[in-house]
Structure 1
Amino acid sequence: AIMQPKHVVPHARLECSRSMPAPSAIAGAEEGYAGPTRTAPSIESAKRLWKDAEAVCFDVDCTVTTNDSLDLLAGFMGVAAQVSALTSQAMDGSLDLATALERRLEIINCTPADIRAFIKEHPPETRLAPGIAALVRALRARGVAVFLISGGFRELTLPIAAHLGIPKENVFANRMNWQWDDETGEPTRLVGFDTSEPTARNQGKPQAIAAIRAIYPYKSIVMVGDGITDLEAVQSTGGADLFIGYGGVVVRPAVEAGADWFVHSHQELLAALQRFRVAMVGSGAWACAAVRMVAQSVTTDDPADNFDNEVRMWVHEEQYEGRKLTAVINEQNENPRYLPGINLGTNVIAVPKLEDAVADADCIIICVPHQFLHGICKQLAGKVRKDAMAISLTKGMRVRADGPQLISQMVQRYLGIDCSVLMGANIAMDIAKEELSEAVIGYTNRDHAKVWAKVFSRPYFRVALLPDPVGAEMCGMLKNIVAIGAGMVDGLGKGPNAKAAILRQGLLEMREFSKALYPEVRDATFLEACGVADLVATCYGGGNRLG
């Protein structure tokens, strides 16, 4: 009895329970159809498409792996030379895919036991192309869907997918047909392959991508591969939006000529992913404690590789023991003047010129005394990226004849970019020592807030998002006034009852004053880390009390 495998994977077969179009229903997917004339994008446009891809489809043999699975299986079976020649003909387009598959299987003539033994001898981790595991990991961590579309066979592809963390539902590949023993009910002999799979023939990969599109509303799909059948993915209606040719294992001239973008390593693709460059404006104690957290986040806890590892920190140049402070910081990885004894990280680079620190920065952190910020903003006007985002750690307000101006409002006005705020019980040395702390990110742009949360979140530093940036910033400013009152209580030798009264009345007046200026401020904000928590920490352990 000749039977198909019993297990059916939805994406891999067109008769799945979900509504998926049959091959004949996919426009432009018929065998041999070259699709409409297509204008290839420029390299710059191709790289932008790659950065914005919502799904990436990889060929497997000689793209994800360093070899062709069937060729390797043929070598295991002792028929390598005959099969390899047919593989080359299929990849350069001189032999149609279905014929090549059929002939190769006839020569290999393996059994299920042979396949199990082959996988044991050649486990997936020994076959991967350099850099592919890191690339797939980064894509998946960014929320990009990853698919494998192979002209090879599921029996050989699924172990690779499992090793890379790609669900089997995201694997398109051919299926071997087996003759099953009537006595044992077990498959015993290979008798060809399932020709109904889209990957069993030319133009099959665009068919597979069209089937993906029928299920998922991806706006952009990229195909990465080394062969002619991969190049076809962008040559048919409903196929990929971009084809990236891969030459890290073998360079096929026709593929290199036809690719929208051709790379020789997966590291090139990893390096081309969107990365945020972070800059710190300021180098005081709190700025140094904050930049230390950032330096950790962009290196040790960045599985999606979202951030450039280097963090530039603007330092107002001054002398320290006869040397420039920037030179001391870069040599010792520590700011001995403002946060002595704390290693900032080898990836923090002290920069004496303000414009150089923020040049090309996507994420600008502002942490300087508020009295200097107006001049800094004027100096940076027109010198930052238009699509950059900022966050203020500075607690203060500019008082003008025409009314008060919050720090975030000043940044937005002069730099023309969105500015969130990070406020909380943030005593610098405690955070530098990695003691448990928390803060809120007050935001108007939630997408930016999510990026900032990745920048600052640490195991010891809890960050919450708060859609009330004005309330958070008012809390951070006004608690300093209350803290002076708390310092007076200490100076007068009064006890905790008196201090508690100051804190309670202070918190109440903070809320009333904030809502008088900005009626939209939320009452609940004063119970967040930026409110009562920051007030308590400052009144008991901050530097604003008068003793």
Structure 2
Amino acid sequence: MSYIAVIGAGSWGTTLASLLSKKGFDVVIWAREKEIADAINSKKENPIYLPNIKLPHNLISTDDILEAIKKARFIVNVVPTQHIRSVFTSLQNKLNDENIVVSASKGIEKGTLKTPSMILEEIINKKVYVLSGPTFAIEVAQEKPTAVTISGSEKRGRLLLQEIFSTSYFRVYEHDDPIGAEIGGAIKNVIAIAAGICDALELGNNARAALITRGLHEIMRLGKKMGAKEITFSGLSGLGDLFLTCTSNLSRNYTVGYRLGKGESLDEISKSMRSIAEGVETSLSAMQLSKKLDVEMPITTEIYQVIYEGKTPQQAASDLMNRTLKPEFY
């Protein structure tokens, strides 16, 4: 019952593995890089993705994914969205009816336009729960108060996972709208890039407030078209995650936007970051999804054009302000 496999040893995966280990669960974290697995085992630290955070003595790491899941009843996906398919294909037909799978990744897969849980369900043929909300890994690792939500179709599973993940500093709510949680978690990264550009251009607090509010409407329109519940977007995986990511330089997506706004090229920014912000690739998928579902997403479209078509941030801001006038709610 107590064995948990965390798949993905980035900052968030390492943080969740640490949290669960501290609660006394037997946790194995899979790392793609052998040197990270070795460092977690020998030094009890992830020096690349979560430096200067001491990890629990009982946390074990491996670079063998089949070894990681061998005893696990619970499997937590924290693999970047664009790599979920390649990683989890190796686990096809390796899981059993007792396994419970949770996804803590955010994004939309290029090409298929699927969310993380959709990708996983296609590969492993099981319903997947979604863990999402406003979370900077470093703050959770430092045990600062955080609230998230676990969502999925089965109440019993949600309540079990709520108990498993909850701690005195990590409060877990639950609801039944995983698609809403995932769309909120994916598109907020695109809006955060826009927020970074907004601040870099010194457009002011009024502009940032308007951007976040209208960005939320884009997220809601897309989510509802995909079958999500409107109320989800007023919650932790919607407004909560959007506000966090759009207002702090701890956000990689905000930082990418800020640097774009200051005139750096995406190539320059990418070379200086170990892993590029998820919103860069999500902007492409989100733009394609908006066209496919006929959902108006002007902020997302502008960010896509800045990143992929060479449009200047200044022109993107001007074009957003000079669109055809319309009602606020439609």
The answer to whether the superposition gives a TM-score over 0.5 is: yes
For each residue in 1:68-101, what CA deviation from the matched residue of structure 2 results, as whole angstroms up to 9, or x when unmatched? Answer: xxxxxxxxxxxxxxxxxxxxxxxxxxxxxxxxxx
Q: 1: CA distance between counterparts of 2:59 and 2:159?
A: 22
Q: Distance in 2 between matches of 1:538 and 1:425?
A: 8
Partner of 1:336: 47
> 1:446 & 1:439 partners in 2: Cα distance?
17
TM-score w.r.t. length of structure 1: 0.45
- Given that 2:82 and 2:110 are in contact with CA atoms closer than 8 Å, whether structure 1 keeps it comes out as no
Maintained 8 Å contact 1:277/1:361: yes
Higher RCO, 1 or 2 (CA under 8 Å, sep at least 6)?
2
In the TM superposition, residue 537 of structure 1 has moved relative to its aligned partner by: 0.5
Question: Which is higher, the Rg of structure 1 or of structure 2?
Answer: 1
How is 1:122-161 mapped onto 2 (pairs within 5 angstroms)? none
Structure 2's unaligned 5+ residue stretches are 259-330
Distance in 2 between the 1:416 and 1:276 partners? 23
Write the distance in 2 (CA, Å) between the matches of 1:386 and 1:416: 10
| Alignment-derived partner of residue 462 in structure 1 | 171
Partner of 2:22: 296
Q: Which residue of 1 aligns with 2:242?
A: 535
Q: Distance in 2 between matches of 1:473 and 1:373?
A: 15
The residue aligned with 1:259 is none
Out of 21, 26, 32, the position equivalent to 1:316 is 32
Other structure's SS at 2:143 match: coil
**Length, aligned pairs only:** 254
- Give the distance between the partners of 1:523 and 1:459, measured in 2 at CA: 30
Structure with the bigger percentage of helix: 2
SS in 2 for 1:350: strand
User: 1:455: Cα distance to partner?
Assistant: 2.0
1:370 pairs with one of 68, 78, 81: 81
**Aligned counterparts of 2:151 and 2:43: Cα–Cα separation in 1:** 34
The answer to whether the aligner puts 1:439 opposite 2:148 as a matched pair is: yes
Partner residue of 1:162? none
Query: Secondary structure of 2:114's match?
Result: strand
What is the CA distance between 1:503 and its match in structure 2? 0.1
Identify the residue that residue 420 of structure 1 maps to in structure 2. Answer: 129
* 1:449 to 2:158 alignment: yes
Counterpart mapping for 1:120-199 below 5 A: none
Look up the SS of the partner of 2:232 in the other structure: helix
Deviations for 1:306-332, whole angstroms, at most 9, x for unmatched residues? xxx3200001124xxxxx322221112
2:200 maps to what in 1? 491
Q: Equivalent residue of 1:455, what SS?
A: helix
Deviation digits for residues 341-395 of structure 1 (CA, Å, limit 9, x no counterpart)? 1122112101111111111311000001111111112111011223201010100
1:471 to 180, 183, 187: 180
Aligned pairs (5 A) from 1:242-391: 275-297=1-23, 299=24, 309-318=25-34, 324-391=35-102
Query: Which residue type is aligned with residue 523 of structure 1?
Result: E
Distance in 2 of aligned mates of 1:397 and 1:360:
30
Give the partner amino acid of 2:31. V
Unaligned runs of 5+ in 1: 1-274, 300-308, 319-323
Question: Aligned-pair distance for 1:433?
Answer: 0.9
State the alpha-carbon separation in 2 of the partners of residues 458 and 497 from structure 1.
37
Query: Secondary structure in 2 aligned to 1:405?
Result: coil
User: Deviation above 4 Å: which 4+ runs of structure 1?
Assistant: none
- Counterparts of 1:504 and 1:430 in 2: how far apart (Å)? 25
SS in 1 for 2:219: helix
Would the aligned equivalents of 1:377 and 1:410 in 2 still touch at CA under 8 Å? no
Whether the aligned pair in 1 keeps the contact of 2:4 and 2:73 (CA below 8 Å) is yes
